[in-house]
């Protein structure tokens, strides 16, 4: 397979990641049950009349995609691929609320039409007047990874030269209430959360939108080379090491040759065991974590991919992300490992462009 490059990145998250100086101003959060994304002034990007009809995830994605395309210098991509775990859940909740309140009668279809998961990719295409390949992946925590894998295949097969790839998820009031009831979200008495050595269940939930332009040609703005992706739906705790080692062997790499590994420690005592197992393989690598900055959510790996791209390009690791004290002189490659609640495991290997 030929090389595929990540030529631009953009992210809206619980950090001020649209700000050029965000790298020096990362602020961890461990005392809130829910982390809200820092949203831009949408009036600068979206006409107010259109913005009023858009859910939060559509607005975040519209802005993040505009940033990514502008940085890559591309007006119209050859494909738009978006990964999302929950889709436009705000509109889903509004529609269901209308169903209940109106006894299933006299319903306006608007919220239902806008609640489908592919609304995000569709709205971006409408805004760009892009009639190219348009696809949405809904695979919980590996939604972005499936999207990137599709984009990589599109480019390798000669179907596209530049692909806009994104991941997005929003919070909704009712869903957050349900997550608190079933202990997906940490109880107040278990806060502040200890992300690395937690003894309690549950996570701090976040939201955000990350977009990337993948291309077959390396450019002046290139951040990284997307080398390989591996996805596994179910994995026993005892299979973690083999899962990772097989991936490294396939890419002709030894454990010590991984300069940096980014692990998705979420503060959930049970599912974080996978990351603890994985960390034992990389004692001589810089070990990082990130969900104390972004929160946990279906497409949180978009934030880690965004950070990994900046780390490779800047050759600098933010102190706030470090688990151990290992620092390599040169950062050539980064391995990202993520899952959600012990399911949908993914490995992404990025190399310096």
Domain-by-domain residue ranges, the chain?
Answer: 5-215, 224-352
pLDDT, mean over the chain: 94
- Phi and psi at residue 11, to the nearest 5°: -150, 135
Q: 37: pLDDT confidence band, cut at 50, 70 and 90?
A: very high
Structure tokens at 52: 């009023």
For residues 36-53, give the mean pLDDT.
Answer: 91
pLDDT at position 107 over 90:
no
Q: How far apart, in whole angstroms, are the C-alpha atoms of residue 305 and residue 213?
A: 12
Given a cut of 70, whether residue 38 has pLDDT beyond it is yes
Distance CA 211, CA 135 (A): 14
Query: How is the beta sheet containing 260-263 ordered, strand by strand?
Result: 133-137, 79-83, 162-169, 208-215, 5-12, 224-234, 343-352, 333-340, 260-263, 286-289
Q: What percent of the chain has pLDDT over 90?
A: 86
Write down the pTM of the prediction: 0.95
pLDDT score of 1:
59
How much is the pLDDT for 155? 97
Query: Going along the chain, which residue ranges are E strands?
Result: 5-12, 79-83, 133-137, 162-169, 208-215, 224-234, 260-263, 286-289, 333-340, 343-352
Task: State the residue for tokens 């179910």.
Answer: 234
CATH code matching the domain that covers 5-215, chosen among 3.40.47.10, 3.90.79.10, 2.40.240.10, 2.10.25.10: 3.40.47.10
C-beta separation of 200 from 190 below 8 A: yes
Same fold, 5-215 and 224-352: yes
What is the CATH architecture assignment of 224-352? 3-Layer(aba) Sandwich (3.40)
């Amino acid at each position: 397979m030929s090389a595929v490059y990540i030529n631009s990145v953009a992210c809206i998250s619980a950090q001020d990641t649209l700000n050029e100086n965000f790298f020096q101003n990362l602020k961890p959060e461990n005392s809130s049950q829910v982390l809200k994304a820092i949203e831009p002034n949408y009036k600068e990007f979206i006409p107010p009349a259109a913005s009023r009809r858009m859910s939060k995830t559509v607005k975040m994605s519209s802005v993040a995609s505009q940033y990514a395309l502008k940085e890559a210098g591309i007006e119209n991509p050859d494909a738009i691929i978006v990964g999302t775990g929950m889709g436009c859940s705000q509109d889903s909740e509004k529609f269901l609320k209308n169903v209940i309140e109106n006894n299933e009668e006299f319903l306006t279809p608007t919220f239902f039409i806008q609640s489908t998961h592919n609304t995000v990719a569709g709205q971006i295409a409408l805004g760009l007047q892009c009639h190219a390949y348009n696809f949405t992946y809904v695979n919980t925590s590996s939604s972005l990874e499936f999207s990137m894998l599709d984009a990589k295949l599109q480019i390798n097969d000669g179907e596209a030269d530049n692909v806009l790839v994104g991941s997005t998820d929003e919070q909704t009031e009712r869903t957050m209430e349900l997550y608190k009831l079933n202990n997906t979200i940490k109880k107040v008495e278990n806060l502040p959360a200890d992300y690395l050595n937690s003894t309690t269940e549950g996570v701090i939930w976040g939201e955000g939108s990350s977009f990337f332009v993948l291309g077959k040609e390396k450019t002046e703005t290139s951040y990284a080379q997307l080398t390989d992706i591996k996805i596994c739906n179910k994995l026993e705790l005892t299979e973690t090491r083999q899962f990772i080692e097989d991936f490294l062997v396939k890419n002709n790499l030894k454990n010590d040759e991984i300069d940096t590994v980014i692990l998705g420690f979420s503060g959930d005592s049970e599912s974080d065991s996978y990351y603890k197992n994985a960390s034992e393989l990389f004692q001589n690598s810089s070990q990082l974590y990130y969900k104390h900055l972004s929160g946990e959510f279906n497409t949180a790996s978009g934030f880690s991919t965004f950070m990994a791209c900046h780390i490779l390009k800047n050759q600098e690791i933010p102190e706030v992300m470090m688990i151990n004290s290992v620092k390599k002189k040169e950062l050539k490659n980064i391995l990202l490992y993520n899952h959600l609640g012990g399911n949908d495991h993914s490995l992404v290997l990025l190399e310096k462009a």
